[in-house]
Structures are given as structure tokens and as C-alpha cells.
Chains A and B, each alone.
Chain A
Amino acid sequence: MIVVVGVSHRTAPLDVREALAFPKEDLPGILKRLREELHAEEVMILSTCNRVELYGRVTEPAAVEEASQRFAASRGRTREELAGALYHLTGDEAVRHAFRVAASLDSMVIGEPQILGQVKEAYHIAEGAGTLGSMLNALRNRSLASAKRARTETGIGHNAVSVSYVAVELARKIFGEMKDRKVLLVGAGKMSELAAKHLVRQGALATVLGGRRFARAEELAAALGGRAMPFESLRDELARADIAISGTGAPGVVIHREDVVAACQARHRRPLFLIDIAVPRDVDSSVRDLEGVFLYDLDDLKAVADANLRERRKQAAAAEALVEREVREFLDWQRSLDVVPLLQEVRRRAEEIRKGELEKARHRLGPLTPEQEAALEAATTAMVNKLLHPSMVQIKEVSKNGHAPEHIGLIRKLLGL
């Protein structure tokens, strides 16, 4: 049975999660120790800044309680201290949880892409520590595959939810392809640099306007593979640019209405996308009503990010349905494993009877030619197979509806095993 014990952003505040988080280098040792202590067959720990979870495969359901205590103790806490924060899931629920976590449906930001890598790494570490067995390995393969499907087949990963990516997304909504688009950076802040990097990576050409600290502008221009220009050329550069990102630390307005009006006249009403990420703001906000000018400040970018997140939540319903189908498939497969020993036993028993009866018959028949020997062998094998086939199929079917344990007992009785 698969169990999950842990805390996540849903149940515990950051300081609790921090205290519980496992350093990567300690994990192999902790995994081995936990497996010993819990008498678990397999264990894996997923430790990210939003969740710390222990995944295990145990034989006794009572082991879950034990696991909670050991888990808390391994970070120097008692189970009582973590009451309310610590959740434990078993069986189908644990499997469903593992799938939803991998698909980023349980993430703080739905559809965030990092979790997939983190889950992969967690399994990898457990594999390295030798605490990963066939069941968790199967869980890994199926849950990661379904997470990838959810990403490609639904929109949970679409639409930017961070400010710098929203800026890039907006640029693409206006201009389409970024290749050979001209990006103008006014001032060299951290955030404008990040947004410009995304744009340049997609083929845009950068120009950095520098003021008093021109060396800084030249440095940034070099990093972006673009050129640096003095601040005085603002109007000319604005007329050439498609996208302008302003993020100076200046106290007042840096890009005035007249600058933008002059630039617009020179550009035949081609769209101009102005991104003002400075606080206080750099761009005169009245340029907003100029034709073809799209001005976004920091709050606007945040508002778009929020709208995108709402959009992702809508898409999450489709992803949930997809993941649920994969969970059911996995559970079916898992249940079918319960009957595997029974199927093997039935086969073994039938083969024993066949061999025994064949032996007796041989004594009575006396010496046989190789052809007769082969015919006898083939006839008895076919007879056994044909008799067994319907019941084998039915046993496999029975396992899928989740009542395998009760049925297995009955089947054993009927077959005299």
C-alpha cells in the first residue's frame, strides 16, 4: 500500500515548512534510516519550498501513524507539534495525491513548471539511495507521464504569471514574433534586465540608454548583445523601438508626453509598447490615450498576471479530469497485481496435475514414438489451457473492481488451493 505523509503550503506556514525541509545531501541517509525504522519496502522524500512529503510503500496500514511520528522526529519535532499541519494519505488517496502534485495541480501557482523537475529529482535521489522499488518506480513513470500530458493537452501551463514573463507575453500579443524587434532599455534595473533577456532570447535586438553611469549601460548592452546609447538620443531611439522598458531610479518623469508624441509621428502609427517598471513611475501616464501606444506599469503587469492565473484555474478542471483518468488506470494496474500470485498458483497447480496424469498414462501405454510423445504433450497442454482460460480472464477482471481480497479467498476455495 502506498502512503504519503507530509506538509504543504496548504496546511503549514512557511516557517514550519522551512523547519521540516531536508537538505539534499542528507536525503540518502535519512531515506535508508526511515525505511529501516518503518519496515517499509520503499520510501521517497519530496522536499521543496512548498511541500515536504514522505512517500512510502508499507505492508501494514498502522505504519502510517508510525510514519507520521518518525517523519516529525526526523526533523526534531513531535507529531503533536505538527498537528493540523501534517496530513497522511493512504492507498488510492495517496496515489491520487502523487499524480496531482507531479501535474502541478496542488501547487501554489497552478501549472508552475518547476515541480516536475523537483519530483523527478526526488525519485532520482531515492533511486540512488536504493530505497526505490518497483511500486514507487511505477508511480514515478505513470505520474510524470500524466503530468507531461496535462501540460501539453490543457492550458494549465499557458499564460505568464510572473511580471517579467507577462511583459514578454504582452509584447508577443502585440507584435507576434520577437525576431528582429527592437527593444529599448531606459535605465538598467534588475527587472528590466530580466524582461529584456527573455525578449533577446527570442530574437529581439536590444539598445540600452545610459545616463551618468554610462559604463553600467555598456555592460548591460554587452550582456544582451546589443548597443549602448547616451540618454540624449531618447527620442530617436523611441522612434525606432517597438518595445521600450523603462526602469530608472529617477524621482520624476523620464519619458514625457512630447517625447512619445514625437516618436509616434516618426513611426507612422506602428504600435509602441511602453513598459514602465519604475517606482516612482518613469513614463507620463497621459501617453496612454495616444493611438498605437500601449503603456503598462508595474500594477498593470500584476493585474495581467492575476488574470492569467484565473485563466489557468479554469484550465485546471480539464487537467484534473485527465489526471484522474490516469490515476484510475494506475489503480487498476495496482489491483491487478494482487491477483498475480493467485494466477501463478493456479497455473502451477494445473501443470502439476497434467504432468502427474501424463506420467501415469505413459506407464500404461508403454514405449511411444517421438511423434506420439509430442502429440500427447500438445493435447494435454491445450486441454489445460482451454479449461483455464475463461477463469484466468475472469480473475483478472475481478481484480479491477477493487474487491480483489474477498474474491481471491473465494476463488482459492473453489479451486481447492
Chain B
Amino acid sequence: MSAQTYLALALAFYAVGALHVLLHALTRRQLLTSWTVAASLAGFVLHTAGLSQRWTEAGHFPAIGLHDGASFLAWAIVLAFLMVYVRTREEVLGLAVYPAVFLLVLVANLAAPATNRPEPILRSLFLPFHTTLAFFGYALLFVAAAMSVLYLIKERELKRRSPHAFYYLGPSLERCDTISAGSASIGFGFLTLAILTGVLFNHAVHGRYWSWDAKGWSALLAWGIYVALLVARYRTGWGGRRAALAGIAGFAAVVVTFVSITLSAR
């Protein structure tokens, strides 16, 4: 099968998972059933096969351009979600992860794969390392931001004394905060390593360490926000609402970075 076929099949399975989780959220039953998890695992296996096939077809590590970027990011998010889920057993994350993964894979299916360009940048050994680190960082920071959003919604419902849908969904406020902090810390570690390898990568390809473009600025901004957030968290016991807002701001900068990288590579 071609990489495109694999990706289309993966999309079908992810669609089943996303639909399932949204329907279950409406009826407020158990969010993830064995069907949802099975569908996402099947999607993930097909997706992995698709990525490996794509690597062979493209002749370089497939993470450049909208098609490959969206596909690889979705793959990293599924992996990050499965790891966080195994550790925490918090089903509510599925509510953010499944639709996001579905949309990313949909975009990947619609966007044409970048054609082979014989650029040195694609053959560099730094590419797989740098992009893998960066995408795992993005995925974990996405999980952290999703937990922060959940924190804000739940806090709002509790503060207004009006229980709505989210009152009945997901863990306690403190647990949202803890999971968000944990994912942000590990995601930040990946992000830091990604920036370091990016600097070396840049030097190897362009002969200079840092490019002051949108990508460089937003990556630095995101990194700065997370440094401030994590230092405040671990030094002063800072948390809750402001930490959630900072986590979301940091992730917004990450999104800008991702978008500017994918678009600039077109």
C-alpha cells in the first residue's frame, strides 16, 4: 500500500474514535470505551506504517511541509496521549486529543505531499533528531494546554456555582493542574532539546546559529513563557488559574512556531 492509502485508513479509524468520544461526552457516559481505544490503536498502527512508507517514498525524514508536518504532529500527539493516559487514566483528555488528531490527519490527507527537492537541509542527519524532539515537545505541550483549558472551564463552573457539562467530566481541579504541570515540564524538556539541536542544525545548513524569523522569535517566546511558568510553579508553589493561563499562552506561541515552520517550508 502507498503512504497515502495508509494515511486515509488511519483517518477513518481516528474519525471513529473522535465521533465516539464526542457522542459519549453528550450522553455523559464513560468517555473512552474499549472501542474508542481500539480504534485509536488501529489508527495509530496504520499511521505508523504510513509514516514509515512515506519516509521511503520521500527519501528523507517526513516532517517538512503541511502534509508531513500535520501527519507527524498528529502521530506524536497520539503517542503522547497514550503515554499520559496509561499513567493517569484520565479519559477526559480524549475529548481534546481525538478531534485534534482527526483534524490534523484530515489536513494531511487533503494537502499534497511536498515534492522531493534535492536540498542539503533534507539530507542532514540533524533533521530526524531535531523534528522528533520538537514534535514530541509540541504534543506534550498540547496535552498540558488541553488540561489547562479544562482547568479554566471547571474552575469557572465551580466558581459560578452552576454545574454544567464539565462539572460531571474529568478529574478534580488540582489533578488538572498537576497533570498540566507534569506534561508541561516534560514537553519543555523536549522543546529545549529541540531548540538546541535546531541551533546546531541551522549552523550546519546555513552557517549561522540563529535565524531571527517568525519561527525563531516565536520559539524563543514560547520557551521564555515556559521557563517563567515552571520556575514560578516549582519555586513558589504557584499554580491554578494563572498557571493555566500561562500554559495556554505558551502553547499559543508553540502553535505560531509550528505554523511558521510548516508554511515557510512550502
Give A residues with C-beta under 8 Å from B: 154-155, 159, 170, 172-176, 268-271, 288, 291-292, 294, 296, 300, 303-304, 307-308, 311, 314-315, 318
Q: Which residue of B lies closest to A291 (CB)?
A: B241
Complex Cα distance, B155 from A170, in Å, reads: 11
Give min CB distance, B129 to chain A, whole Å.
38
Complex Cα distance, B234 from A268, in Å, reads: 12
Interface pairs (30), CB distance under 8 Å: A155-B28, A155-B29, A159-B168, A170-B158, A173-B154, A173-B158, A173-B173, A174-B173, A175-B172, A175-B173, A176-B171, A176-B173, A268-B236, A268-B238, A269-B241, A270-B237, A270-B239, A271-B174, A271-B240, A291-B242, A294-B158, A294-B159, A300-B161, A303-B162, A307-B163, A308-B163, A311-B28, A311-B168, A314-B28, A318-B29
Q: Which residue of A lies closest to B167 (CB)?
A: A173
Complex Cα distance, B173 from A270, in Å, reads: 11
Most buried by A among B161, B172, B238: B161
By a CB distance below 8 angstroms, the chain A residues around B242 are 269, 291
By a CB distance below 8 angstroms, the chain B residues around A270 are 237, 239-240
- Supposing A173-B167, A176-B174, A176-B175 touch, asked if A296 and B240 sit within 8 A by C-beta, the answer is no
Which residues between 180 and 211 of chain B lie within 8 Å of chain A, taking CB atoms? none
Which residue in A175, A268, A303, A308 is a CB contact (below 8 Å) of B174?
A175
Complex Cα distance, B166 from A311, in Å, reads: 12
By a CB distance below 8 angstroms, the chain B residues around A308 are 163
Give min CB distance, B156 to chain A, whole Å.
11
Q: Which residue of B lies closest to A172 (CB)?
A: B172
Most buried by B among A170, A172, A173: A173
Give min CB distance, B15 to chain A, whole Å.
25
By a CB distance below 8 angstroms, the chain B residues around A303 are 161-162
Most buried by B among A176, A291, A308: A176
Q: Binary interface profile of B, 23-59, with partner A (CB < 8 Å = 1, else 0)?
A: 0000111000000000000000000000000000000
Complex Cα distance, B240 from A292, in Å, reads: 8
Most buried by A among B154, B159, B162: B159
Complex Cα distance, B233 from A269, in Å, reads: 12
Complex Cα distance, B28 from A155, in Å, reads: 9
Complex Cα distance, B167 from A300, in Å, reads: 14
Give min CB distance, B219 to chain A, whole Å.
29
Give min CB distance, A192 to chain B, whole Å.
19
Complex Cα distance, B236 from A270, in Å, reads: 11
Give min CB distance, A173 to chain B, whole Å.
6
By a CB distance below 8 angstroms, the chain B residues around A170 are 158
Give B residues with C-beta under 8 Å from A: 27-29, 154, 158-159, 161-163, 167-168, 171-175, 236-242
- Supposing A288-B159, A307-B163, A318-B29 touch, asked if A269 and B238 sit within 8 A by C-beta, the answer is yes
By a CB distance below 8 angstroms, the chain B residues around A291 are 240-242
Give min CB distance, B211 to chain A, whole Å.
39
Complex Cα distance, B161 from A304, in Å, reads: 7
By a CB distance below 8 angstroms, the chain B residues around A173 are 154, 158, 167, 172-173
Give min CB distance, A174 to chain B, whole Å.
5
Prevailing SS type, chain B contact patch: helix
By a CB distance below 8 angstroms, the chain A residues around B29 are 154-155, 318
By a CB distance below 8 angstroms, the chain A residues around B173 are 173-176, 271
Q: Which residue of A lies closest to B171 (CB)?
A: A176
Known: A269-B242, A270-B237, A315-B28. 7 other contacts (CB 8 A): A159-B168, A174-B172, A271-B173, A292-B240, A307-B162, A308-B163, A318-B29
By a CB distance below 8 angstroms, the chain A residues around B238 are 268-269
Complex Cα distance, B173 from A172, in Å, reads: 9
The reply to whether B239 and A269 form a contact with Cβ atoms under 8 Å apart is: yes
By a CB distance below 8 angstroms, the chain A residues around B168 are 159, 311
The reply to whether B172 and A176 form a contact with Cβ atoms under 8 Å apart is: yes
Complex Cα distance, B158 from A307, in Å, reads: 13
Which residue in B154, B158, B162, B240 is a CB contact (below 8 Å) of A269?
B240
By a CB distance below 8 angstroms, the chain A residues around B239 are 269-270
Complex Cα distance, B174 from A268, in Å, reads: 14
Complex Cα distance, B239 from A269, in Å, reads: 7
User: Which 8 residue pairs spanning A and B have beta carbons closest together?
Assistant: A176-B172, A300-B161, A307-B163, A268-B237, A176-B175, A174-B173, A176-B174, A175-B174
By a CB distance below 8 angstroms, the chain A residues around B159 are 288, 294
Q: Which residue of B lies closest to A305 (CB)?
A: B163
By a CB distance below 8 angstroms, the chain A residues around B240 are 269-271, 291-292
Q: Which residue of B lies closest to A310 (CB)?
A: B163
Give min CB distance, A43 to chain B, whole Å.
39
Give min CB distance, B181 to chain A, whole Å.
14
Give min CB distance, B56 to chain A, whole Å.
47
Complex Cα distance, B238 from A308, in Å, reads: 32
The reply to whether A304 and B172 form a contact with Cβ atoms under 8 Å apart is: no
By a CB distance below 8 angstroms, the chain B residues around A154 are 29
Give min CB distance, B151 to chain A, whole Å.
11
By a CB distance below 8 angstroms, the chain B residues around A159 are 168
By a CB distance below 8 angstroms, the chain B residues around A271 are 173-174, 240
Complex Cα distance, B242 from A270, in Å, reads: 11
Complex Cα distance, B29 from A154, in Å, reads: 8
Complex Cα distance, B238 from A176, in Å, reads: 18
Q: Which residue of B lies closest to A315 (CB)?
A: B28
By a CB distance below 8 angstroms, the chain A residues around B28 are 155, 311, 314-315
Give min CB distance, B191 to chain A, whole Å.
26
Complex Cα distance, B175 from A194, in Å, reads: 26
Q: Which residue of B lies closest to A307 (CB)?
A: B163
Give min CB distance, A299 to chain B, whole Å.
9
Complex Cα distance, B242 from A292, in Å, reads: 10
Complex Cα distance, B159 from A296, in Å, reads: 9
Q: Which residue of B lies closest to A288 (CB)?
A: B159
Complex Cα distance, B241 from A291, in Å, reads: 8
Give min CB distance, B234 to chain A, whole Å.
12
By a CB distance below 8 angstroms, the chain A residues around B27 are 314, 318
